[in-house]
Amino acid sequence: MRPDADNAVRLRFDRGTLLLQGVPRNRARALPAPELWEWDGRVRAWRADAMHYAAIRQIPDERWAGAWRDEVPGPPPVHWPKVDLPPLRPEQEEALTAWRAAGRGGQVIMPTGTGKTEVALAAMAETGAATLVVAPIRDLMYQWHRRILSRLGYDAGIVGDNLYNLQPVTVTTYDSAYIHMDRIGDRFGLIVFDEEHHLPGPCRREAALMCTAPGRLGLSATPERSDGRHADLDHLVGPVVYAMPLARARGRTLADYDVVRVPVALTQTEQAAYDACSRQVRHYMAAQRRERPGYSWRDLCSESGADPAARRAQKAYYLKKSIEDRAAEKLRVLEDLFRLHVGQRIIVFAGSNVMAMEVSRRFLVPTILSHTRKRERSAVLDGFSEGRLPVIVANRVLDEGVDVPAAKVAVVIGGQASTRQAKQRLGRILRRTGNMRATLYEVVCEATREVERSRARRRSDAYERTRHRRV
């Protein structure tokens, strides 16, 4: 049973890592690619990240000092029952060729609505290996499932949303991939990271590190992260092999669009409450700063536990935000917009679940929220795309990648000012259908922080060269 006694050198997949047994610690120099390995005294073997499997396999046999056995299970080949891919557009073809030329590893950056999914499906079709597709949220996971079924004729397994059905081709979410990868990381020949900017987080990156798949494809419209970690994608997925600027997409594949800002005033009672809250927060901060220059909001949050006054200021701040979020006037403006665009499909983005449900109960229009189950979700999305349901209300769930067919009008009535969110939201309404211009309305409370957020949003690349008007 003593591992060193048995001279056979064995490479195994062990809970998300590669384990090399049979090479004693003092023979580190006999290891090929010694920089990849760490000695693990607990099991008396060498360990490496599963991600390096492809690199290790490429090492010629003679560099191994003697015979060795690879016991990492090879992923099964996959035969697609019925491939029905539309012909790729030139830029999609370029992307696929570049990825192939890079040895089937790397990132493809294309704006929302330009058919990243088709590129990935074509890559899957030609690779013909067991594939794991990782998507940020379960809506997208189900969407991938539907796409794989309709384009490749394959009924993929699902891991996530309380389901665990592992198949040679499986779709999952980043959170589930992180949790399960130490068990399933040796099953795939290709791994696809959709909206790959979700990958470099300190935990989620393990979905890439713990997987042996030699083929890797990262997809995103906006790989940049505010923390700068997108640089790690080169290591986790591979280099950027193709990047298409948004400008090239606009007008060709994407519709032109207008951004319209609709200011609303708070009601008298709301304004009074809002001002009182603002004053409370301002006074508290000012008082603290007199004593302690550089006192920040973070200090306040960390003190709110021990200090009821800080806690009251914190509560006032949250109340202020909720007044903004749920201003009664927004519902009235919404009615006006619904009147204006009667007969057109409209997506409303709310800043919170509560506001989304308020809109839903006022106008009797369906919501898509994070807890909406699969069946209701498809019923609502189908009803919307067939024109039976004129409006859907969403919170952040529809922010990314979820296909919402041919909506031409979107209304944002709350949300944070982040560049990516803005781009993704635009992506929703910009899918090409006919020549009609798309319109994005931003309903913001006047004289509040929301106005600033709206300005910050508009500074982003996505809003450049769009027309702005006021209603």
Partner 1 sequence: MLTSEHVIVEYKDGRARPDRLERKRHAHYAACAEQMLAIYRTGIGRQRRALHRDVETLFAKEPDCPLRRTRAFAKLLDDASTYQTDPKGEASRLRLRVFEAAAPLHPLVRRKDRLFEHAEAETKAAIAADVGLEWDEIDARLYADVMAFQQLECFQGYPNAVALLSRYNVAQLQACLYAAERVTVRATQDFKTILRYAKLARLLHEIRRVGPSEYVIEFSGPASVLRGTRRYGVAFARFLPALLACKGWRMTAVVRTPWRARAVLELSDQDRYTSALPPPEEFDSGVEERFARKFGQQREGWRLERESEVLADGQTIFVPDFVFRHDDGTTVLFEIVGFWTPEYLANKRETLRRFPDQGILVAVPERSLREGAEPGAGVIVYKTAIKVEPVLAALEAVRGSRSP
Residues contributing to the site for partner 1 (CB under 8 A): 1, 3, 14-17, 19, 38-44, 47-49, 182, 202-203, 206, 209-210, 304-308, 311, 314, 332, 335, 338-339, 342, 353, 357, 360-366, 369, 371, 373, 375-376, 379-380, 383, 388-391
Q: State the nearest-atom distance from the C-beta of 303 to partner 1, in Å.
A: 9
Q: State the nearest-atom distance from the C-beta of 384 to partner 1, in Å.
A: 10
Looking at beta carbons only, is 125 or 273 nearer to partner 1? 273
d(CA 117, CA 403): 11
Query: Half-sphere exposure (CA, 13 Å, Cβ side) for 451?
Result: 9
Looking at beta carbons only, is 89 or 315 nearer to partner 1? 315
Strands 409-412 and 346-349: parallel
380, 389 contact by CB (below 8 A): yes
Q: State the nearest-atom distance from the C-beta of 277 to partner 1, in Å.
A: 16
What is the phi/psi pair of residue 469, to 5°? -140, 165
Q: State the nearest-atom distance from the C-beta of 103 to partner 1, in Å.
A: 24
**DSSP line for 33-93:** SGGG-EEETTTTEEEEEGGGHHHHHTS-GGGSSS-EEE-SPPPPB---S---PPPPPHHHH
Both structure tokens of 7: 């001279």
Q: State the nearest-atom distance from the C-beta of 63 to partner 1, in Å.
A: 22
Q: State the nearest-atom distance from the C-beta of 44 to partner 1, in Å.
A: 6
Please give the distance of CA 217 from its chain centroid, rounded to a whole number: 15
Cβ-based burial of 367 (10 A; exposed 0-12, middle 13-18, buried ≥19): buried
Looking at beta carbons only, is 238 or 366 nearer to partner 1? 366
| 81, 195, 230, 236 from 223: Cα distances, Å | 33, 8, 6, 13
Looking at beta carbons only, is 35 or 61 nearer to partner 1? 35
Phi/psi region, residue 273 (left: phi>0; alpha: psi -120 to 50; beta: rest), is alpha
Looking at beta carbons only, is 59 or 354 nearer to partner 1? 354
Both structure tokens of 276: 């009182």
96, 85 contact by CB (below 8 A): no
Q: State the nearest-atom distance from the C-beta of 234 to partner 1, in Å.
A: 17
Q: State the nearest-atom distance from the C-beta of 1 to partner 1, in Å.
A: 7
Looking at beta carbons only, is 44 or 458 nearer to partner 1? 44
151, 183 contact by CB (below 8 A): no
SS3 268: helix
Looking at beta carbons only, is 91 or 358 nearer to partner 1? 358
d(CA 180, CA 98): 31
Q: State the nearest-atom distance from the C-beta of 163 to partner 1, in Å.
A: 16
Looking at beta carbons only, is 117 or 360 nearer to partner 1? 360
Which residue in 217, 233, 50 sits closest to 127, CA to CA? Answer: 217
Looking at beta carbons only, is 206 or 442 nearer to partner 1? 206
